[in-house]
Structures are given as structure tokens and as C-alpha cells.
Amino acid sequence: MKHSGTRFLPSWRRSALALVSASLLWAPGSTYAQTPLTIPSVQPTSGPWDSGDGFSFKLGKKKDAKIRRSVSGIACSRSAVQQRICLLVFDEGVEARYATLRDGTLVVGPERVALRADEGELDAEGAATDGNYFYVTGSHSAKRSDCRNNPHSRHVIRFRRDPATGRALRSPGGDPSGVLVDYADSGRLWSIMQAQPELQAHVGEGKCLGTTAPPEAPKLLGQHGVNIEGLAVSDGRLYFGFRGPARKGQAVILAVDSEALFQGGDVRASITRIKVGAGRGIRDMVAVQGGILLLTGPDDDPATQPGVKWAISWWDGKSSSGVVTPKTLATLDLGGVELREIKAGKANVCEDKELKPEAMTVLDETPQAYRLLILSDGMCDGGALTFSVPR
């Protein structure tokens, strides 16, 4: 396998004074007021990780390369032999794949995980696991290019996880071609969103994303249509993070009871408005001890995207009727990451297109820092990068 360009050499540095200031200014449960001087900017400590021959979907060279560049969610856990096994979802197609994380390597697997039986575009944007189940959500959004309705994206899926293998439990006998055990597909989230005063104006047919006309339908207007891109699970609750609507520097998180969502009954829905900063929305989420980490980045308005940095924030996961200000831990400095052309034989070529962090998992969690693995839409096989983010 050949790579053009130079791999990123980690050299990130941060201000010791900034970290000391941050630790003095904030403690759990306190009111936290940040200034730019207290928020470090962190560069990758390693990556992009090697992914061997990369994911294969057997759809043809061009289509395979397109899907390989569409990683949009990741859910990781350890198997019985302590291998870190991750389910990766893509915003193209209807299949997920597994990867095993090793030191500096994303070992991709060939096993197909068919998320839905039809060929409609699920637009999977988030994945999570609580150890018992895997959860995957579609974006629930209209098409970005022309604002066409996409009812195929209005699904939340769960299936049983096998604690021995760290993969989906299959019947019969764990055969990779077997049926997913306890598979459930819920379309209820659409009506749940319509019932929330904070969201109902943004949920409906033909609700274009952002505020500007889509490129292929210039006569339409943006309506801040809903666009889910983050998913986390904690204590029996599913948390959906929205890239849009994002207004006045605020993003939205919708939380529901996971069992009720799939089995029926009151989901006890709650909406929390999160202060993320102008031009930002939520791009992914992951549960950690005592809260939820948020990956934020450009929202759905192209005009606001230039200059908006990706950032990592910590939220305690508690719903509130007021606007919540999370603790911003760091912004991501991606300036030293170069795009690559990956060649693994004549039939398997993938070229990075752009760097858009959209999938996040925690590798290590210490009292001092989180070590994160972040994958990007637009990078072949996610172009996995690691970051050390101070708490």
C-alpha cells in the first residue's frame, strides 16, 4: 500500500498557563466562564492510522471509494479477550462494518452489517453502544443538495451485542451471515420531534437545511430543517445531537428512554439547548464518566462555515429548561493533516477529499485527559486521528 503526502508528525503544544487557569476557573457543579486564553488548541498525537486495504463493499471501484470516504459514526467496546471492536456507520448506503483498533492501526473487517433491508438511503449519522445493544440513527433530514424528502433516513435501529465477540449477536450460532438478534427498527422519533415545541417548526416535508437555498434548488429557502449527526447512550437514555437547527450559537439535544422508543410507551422526551458558539452544531457525541463529550463543528449554513473550528466540550448530561453552557475542553488544530492517496492494488484506490470530523470514541479516560480517536467524513476509512484533550 502506498501513500502520497507525508503522514502527520505530532508536535502539538499547549500553554501551561492556559491549563492552570482552566483548572482554577472550573470545578464540577460550578459556573464556568471561559475566555479564548483558557481553551487550548490541540494537534493530533498520531494518525492518520493505517487501515490496510480498507473497507470493501463490492460495488465497484468508484462507489466503494465514495462509501469509504463517508464514515459518520463509531461505537466501540471491548470483547471478552479485551480487543477493542468498533461498529462504523456510513452516510452512504445501508451497511455498517467492523474495525478492530490496535496501536496506530484500524484493522477493517469484511463482515456485512445490513442496517435495513431496503436500498433507500439511511444516511446513518450516529452510532452508540451501551454494552448490551448497538444503536444507529439516520439523519432524519431532507437531502442537502436539493431538499428532497428522505423518509428512509427517519429510522433509529438497535440490535443485540455479543459480549464475547464485541460484534452483533447473530442467529443461529453466531454465523456472520445469520440474522441480527433482537433487531428493532423504530420510526417514532419523527413524531416525537414534531411534538417538541423547540423542534416542531423544523420537522416536516421539504424542510431545507440551514438558511440558504440548496445548490440544486436555488428557488427554495433554508428552513433550519432537522439534521441529526450525534448519538450517545447513557443510563437507558438515548441522546440525539443536532447539527441543525442551530441558531444564536445554540444547538439542540433530544433525549428519550431507549426501551420505550423501541417497545412503545412514554419516551419521556426532553430537549436541552446547548451553547456551542456561532456557526457550530453537534457533529458527534459519546458518553463518558459523569457526562457526555460533544464534538462540535460547522452547522448547516455554508456562509458561516469558513473559520469555524471543531471543538470538544463536556456536558453533564442533565436536561435543563434554560440554555446550558458546557465546558469547552479544546479546539482541534487540523492544519498539519495532509490529504492522501491510498493504493492497495490496482482495483482498490481511495483518495482523501476533505477533513470533516464526524465520529468520535474514547480510547482512554484519566483524571487529567481524554485520549480520543476521531474519524472524518471525506477521508478514506475515516482517516483516524488521535488527540489528547485535557479535562
CATH number, position 31: 2.120.10
In this structure, of 7-16, 54-63, 158-167, the range with the lowest mean pLDDT score is 7-16
User: For residue range 272-331, what is the model confidence (pLDDT) as tens digits?
Assistant: 999 999 999 999 999 999 999 999 999 999 877 788 999 999 999 999 999 999 999 999
User: Looking at the predicted structure, is the pLDDT value of residue 14 above 60?
Assistant: no
User: Looking at the predicted structure, is the pLDDT value of residue 15 above 60?
Assistant: no
Confidence of residue 4 (pLDDT cuts 50, 70, 90): very low
- The parent domain of residue 15 ranges over 2-390
User: Looking at the predicted structure, is the pLDDT value of residue 93 above 50?
Assistant: yes
Backbone angles phi, psi at 148, to 5 degrees: -65, 145
User: For residue range 126-177, what is the model confidence (pLDDT) as tens digits?
Assistant: 999 999 999 999 999 999 999 999 999 999 999 999 999 999 999 986 677 7
User: Looking at the predicted structure, is the pLDDT value of residue 235 above 90?
Assistant: yes
pTM of the predicted structure, to 2 decimals: 0.90
Backbone angles phi, psi at 199, to 5 degrees: -115, -20
User: For residue range 94-129, what is the model confidence (pLDDT) as tens digits?
Assistant: 999 999 999 899 999 999 999 999 878 999 999 999
- Percent of the chain past pLDDT 90, that is, above it, reads 79
Query: Tell me, what's the pLDDT at 276?
Result: 97
The number of domains in the chain is 1
Query: What mean pLDDT is reported for the chain?
Result: 89
Confidence of residue 13 (pLDDT cuts 50, 70, 90): very low
Query: Tell me, what's the pLDDT at 373?
Result: 98
